[in-house]
């Protein structure tokens, strides 16, 4: 998935301890600017599975040629999600992220036809309503990162009948966020704006980086992939 590494797990632990501290978005994005050059090495050490799992989940649901689907990768980071999707046959990607450093790394991959900076949760997505066949947000919906208020925006920019793939973590320090997110997802479904296609709970999501994080008897934390389909009749 990503480049091999000479960094140690302890170094990665120290780095990751800065991610979920609940800082303000500007500070968080500066943190990611600094992490960008080593991000892929580090997530390889963490056995980070989310981009591959999300890509498989989306690919299995789409009928018709994957190469035709226009995909928006929200919080695209260095582009791992597009890389995994390309391996499945997708080739049309737009990406958004708040960190210029991450966007530069993604740009160098040469996979995205369009990349834009956007601070999620603070501004509307720079995209027209009903534009994308699929919208993904992977590894960014969690405590101290992207607020759940972005979810209706993801739905807005998806085409009627388009797919939305979201991930979050199920470790203890993220349970409050996950439950708020779940309530919002359910509420949007009850309002008929989308329907749940699949929920994939994954036990070995990524390696735990603190003792508190580790679930009983495992060095891994768990996570979840959600796949939804936008209703055909939504009025935006
Ligand atoms: C853990 S990385 C995930 C990147 C990529 N999706 C992946 O799975 O490898 C989280 C990404 O979210 C971005 N991010 C975090 N908070 C953000 C915010 N409020 N607005 C925009 N981007 C944000 C970071 O810059 C970073 O690229």
Give the residue among 97, 78, 72 at the shortest CA–CA distance from 159: 72
Residue 68 CA, distance from chain mean position: 21
Helix axes 50-61, 80-88, angle to 10 degrees: 40
Give the residue among 11, 19, 88 at the shortest CA–CA distance from 42: 11
Measured between its terminal Cα atoms, the distance across the chain in Å is 36
- The pLDDT assigned to 236 comes to 56
Query: What are the sequence ranges of the domains in the chain?
Result: 9-230
Residue 4 pLDDT greater than 90, yes or no: no
- The pLDDT assigned to 1 comes to 44
- Asked whether the beta carbons of 166 and 199 are under 8 A apart, the reply is no
| Ligand 1 binding pocket mutation candidate from 77, 101, 107, 121 (most atoms within 8 A of CB) | 77
pLDDT tens-digit map of 108-118 = 999 999 999 99
Q: What mean pLDDT is predicted for residues 24-31?
A: 90
Which atom number of ligand 1 is nearest to the Cα of residue 76? 6
CA of 166 to the centre of ligand 1 (A): 13
Q: Whose CA is nearest to atom 13 of ligand 1?
A: 75
Segment holding 13, helix H or strand E: helix 9-16
Q: What mean pLDDT is predicted for residues 155-175?
A: 95
Lining ligand 1 with CB less than 6 A are 25, 28-29, 32, 50-51, 75-77, 80-81, 97-99, 102, 119-121, 138-140, 145-146
**11 — pLDDT class (breaks 50, 70, 90):** confident
Segment holding 215, helix H or strand E: none
Superfamily for domain range 9-230? Vaccinia Virus protein VP39 (3.40.50.150)
Residue 2 pLDDT greater than 50, yes or no: no
- The pLDDT assigned to 218 comes to 79
pLDDT tens-digit map of 30-75 = 999 999 999 999 999 999 999 999 999 999 999 999 999 999 999 9
Residue with tokens 């208020």: 149
- The pLDDT assigned to 209 comes to 85
């Amino acid at each position: 998935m990503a480049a091999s590494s000479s960094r140690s797990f302890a170094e990665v632990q120290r780095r990751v301890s800065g991610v979920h501290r609940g800082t303000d978005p500007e500070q968080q994005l500066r943190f990611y600017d600094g992490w960008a050059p080593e991000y892929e090495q580090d997530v390889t050490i963490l056995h980070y599975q989310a981009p591959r799992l999300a890509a498989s989940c989306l690919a299995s649901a789409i009928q018709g040629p994957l190469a035709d689907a226009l995909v928006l990768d929200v919080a695209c980071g260095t582009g791992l999600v597009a890389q995994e999707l390309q391996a499945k046959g997708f080739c049309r990607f737009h990406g958004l992220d708040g960190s210029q450093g991450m966007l530069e790394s993604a740009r160098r991959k040469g996979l995205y036809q369009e990349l834009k900076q956007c601070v999620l949760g603070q501004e509307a997505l720079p995209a027209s309503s009903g534009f994308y066949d699929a919208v993904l947000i992977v590894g960014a919906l969690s405590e101290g990162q992207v607020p759940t208020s972005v979810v209706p925006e993801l739905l807005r920019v998806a085409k009627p009948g388009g797919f939305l793939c979201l991930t979050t973590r199920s470790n203890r320090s993220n349970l409050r966020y996950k439950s708020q997110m779940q309530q919002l997802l359910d509420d949007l479904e009850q309002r008929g704006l989308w329907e749940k296609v699949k929920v994939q709970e994954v036990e070995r999501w990524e390696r735990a980086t603190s003792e508190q994080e580790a679930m009983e008897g495992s060095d891994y934390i768990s996570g979840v992939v959600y796949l939804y389909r936008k209703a055909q009749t939504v009025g935006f």
